[in-house]
A and B are shown apart, each in its own frame.
Chain A
């Protein structure tokens, strides 16, 4: 594994500032350009995007099929894309069902679909989560307060290359009367990572 992302946050931030300063002084990076790119990216990166995708998929069977088959092609239907960073990233949406559950991790670093889920939570980058969820997902979920039915199979998706993953949670019970906006409000970030039910 490549280091603890949590304990050294301050050191890392200092190194990034130093590096940024060096790049600016040598004229390799325009600080305003960097700020603009970061602001534009983060302004639109929010778990509300993932929540909208889930709600639409629950209500529209056709969209659900397109999202699961080719998420990058389906995202523009909701005005979303995975192209906010330096290059468009491949997105794979994995669906929870009655008998199978999905959990997302990046064991090597902290790959995460930022455009759809916003900046990742600190625990997602911790060595504890990254090392344990592949080995004992059921026990790890239990520590999140999520007691998954023992009959439900678990698949862990390790984002070890260029793809990013998002979980399509199961639609909560007794929500037949809710519209898309109300359904989206029920979806949590942790539900889209797979460490909580929705």
Chain B
């Protein structure tokens, strides 16, 4: 599967709260961060947990500022996210 994002890209984590297992942490949902690194491809845990066919999908290291996640704080949090958890951020939103 071709990778949709590159290091430096701004991405928004999905807001959806799925009714099944996911590895998108709740605190990151809806937040905008920056892709730091590509990790390679791994089966999507949301599908594996439901015994659905899970093709390997790119995983990215994404860095968020504490301000973007929690509205305060001076640290950053780096989260590992599957590609389908992410959406590109439109130029206007940056």
By a beta-carbon cutoff of 8 Å, the part of chain A in contact with chain B is: 90, 92, 107-108, 134-138, 153-163
Contact = CB atoms under 8 A, between A and B. Distances in A.
Nearest to A130: B25
B23 A158 contact: no
Interface SS of chain B: strand
A157 B25 CA distance: 13
Contacts of A161: 23, 39, 42, 59, 80-82
Given A90-B39, A108-B23, A135-B73, A158 B63 contact: no
Interface residues on B, range: 20 to 34
Closest 8 A/B residue pairs (Cβ): A161-B80, A154-B75, A156-B77, A160-B80, A158-B79, A155-B76, A162-B42, A161-B59
Given A134-B27, A138-B75, A163-B39, A158 B80 contact: yes
A108 to B, nearest CB: 6
A132 to B, nearest CB: 11
Given A90-B39, A162-B39, A153 B80 contact: no
Contacts of A153: 74-76
Given A108-B23, A161-B59, A161-B81, A156 B42 contact: no
B27 A107 contact: yes
Contacts of B27: 107, 134-135
Given A156-B76, A157-B78, A158-B78, 9 more contacts: A107-B25, A135-B70, A153-B76, A155-B63, A155-B75, A158-B79, A159-B80, A162-B80, A163-B80
Nearest to A102: B78
B88 interface: no
16 contacts: A90-B40, A92-B61, A134-B27, A134-B69, A135-B66, A135-B70, A154-B74, A154-B75, A155-B75, A159-B80, A160-B24, A160-B79, A160-B80, A161-B42, A163-B39, A163-B61
